[in-house]
Amino acid sequence: MQTLTALKALHPEIRADFTIEQHWERYTQAEHGIWRTLYERQMQILPGRAADEFLDGLKKLKLVAERIPNFARLSDDLQRLTGWRIVAVPSLVPDEIFFDHLAHRRFPAGRFIRKPEQLDYIEEPDVFHDVFGHAPMLVHPVFADYMEAYGKGGMRALTEFHALKNLARLYWYTVEFGLIETAKGLRIYGSGIVSSHAETLYALENPKPNRIRFELERVMRTEYRIDDFQESYFVIPSFDRLFDETYKDFAALYRTLQAGPTYRPGEVLASDALAAPKAA
């Protein structure tokens, strides 16, 4: 992550909140083509694997294979649905800037698209991860509220409780890499999974990773990997339950978390309830 001053050299028009213009008209046909490749590849495997809420959001936002979405148009639809907007940023932004955007129902998204040789792995979130991966869940009213609450909570965690690590783990294991148990079976909803072809299959069907029933304190004590597929995923029973468990004052929990164990990403505890992989 870079400072505003450093980013100004590359993006002279950058604003104090780190947003820039998307300049949708500047995408080349080759860049739209990369979006198409990624989009089509995901749509071959997401039905029956992604949560209905995700697929429903994708449809309501009219995200299509043909072109990288125009953030202004997309935001007008999203705003009508749940009051969220998508704003362009050059790269990862500082925590307080990120939280402030979320708290005001703005999702900061990278505007660049990965190179053809990076279809399966990128170091920084691009427009496919940020928009295809994140925007559909913002259509879901409960998840939309959860994300705003997370932004507000992030600000408190940062300034009052110094508990950013714990709170970041909650984001990681829900928003980015969450699984949900539905009447039709295990599904994915985390943006990092739904935007990755290989991890979509791995997270649901591979026998290797742990699929652990979501428990707030357990999650907040668990480290995560940023360099490979997750060793553990956490499974929520519903978005309502996720919201109920998190929409409370974390002050007491943050105090509890100051003492006690931290778990390694792949660790399994006797108290964990484990889910079986989805039948392939």
Binding site for Fe ion (CB under 5 A): 191
The contacts of residue 135 (CB under 8 Å, 6+ apart) are 57, 61, 63, 69, 74, 78, 86, 107, 109
- Alpha helix stretches (DSSP H) within 11-157: 29-45, 52-60, 71-82, 95-103, 127, 141-156
If binding is defined by CB under 6 A, does position 173 make contact with ligand PHE? no
If binding is defined by CB under 6 A, does position 249 make contact with ligand PHE? yes
In the complex, minimum distance from the CB of residue 192 to Fe ion, in angstroms, rounded to a whole number: 6
Spatial contact of 22 and 159, defined as CB atoms under 8 Å apart: no
Q: What is the DSSP string of 21-34?
A: ---GGG--HHHHHH
For ligand PHE, the closer of residues 121 and 247 by Cβ is: 247
140-169: which residues touch ligand PHE (CB under 6 A)? 146, 149-150, 153, 156
In the complex, minimum distance from the CB of residue 202 to ligand PHE, in angstroms, rounded to a whole number: 26
Residue from the set 110, 127, 250, 278 that interacts with ligand PHE by CB under 6 A: 250
Using CB distances below 5 to 8 A depending on partner kind, what does residue 121 bind out of ligand PHE, Fe ion, none?
A: none
- Taking CB positions, which residue lies at the least distance from Fe ion? 191
Using CB distances below 5 to 8 A depending on partner kind, what does residue 191 bind out of Fe ion, ligand PHE, none?
A: Fe ion
88 by DSSP, 3-state: which?
A: strand
- DSSP state, residue 132: I
Residue type, 46: L
Spatial contact of 111 and 22, defined as CB atoms under 8 Å apart: yes
For Fe ion, the closer of residues 193 and 257 by Cβ is: 193
CA-wise closest residue to 233 among 182, 175, 183: 175
Angle of CA points 203, 61, 190, to nearest 5°: 20
Kindly determine how many residues on this chain lie close enough to bind ligand PHE according to the rule CB under 6 A. 11
For ligand PHE, the closer of residues 118 and 159 by Cβ is: 159
Segment interacting with ligand PHE, rule: CB under 6 A, options 179-187, 194-202, 243-251, 272-280: 243-251
- Taking CB positions, which residue lies at the least distance from ligand PHE? 153
119 by DSSP, 3-state: which?
A: coil
In the complex, minimum distance from the CB of residue 85 to Fe ion, in angstroms, rounded to a whole number: 17
If binding is defined by CB under 6 A, does position 256 make contact with ligand PHE? no
Applying CB under 6 A, which residues contact ligand PHE?
Answer: 146, 149-150, 153, 156, 170, 246-250
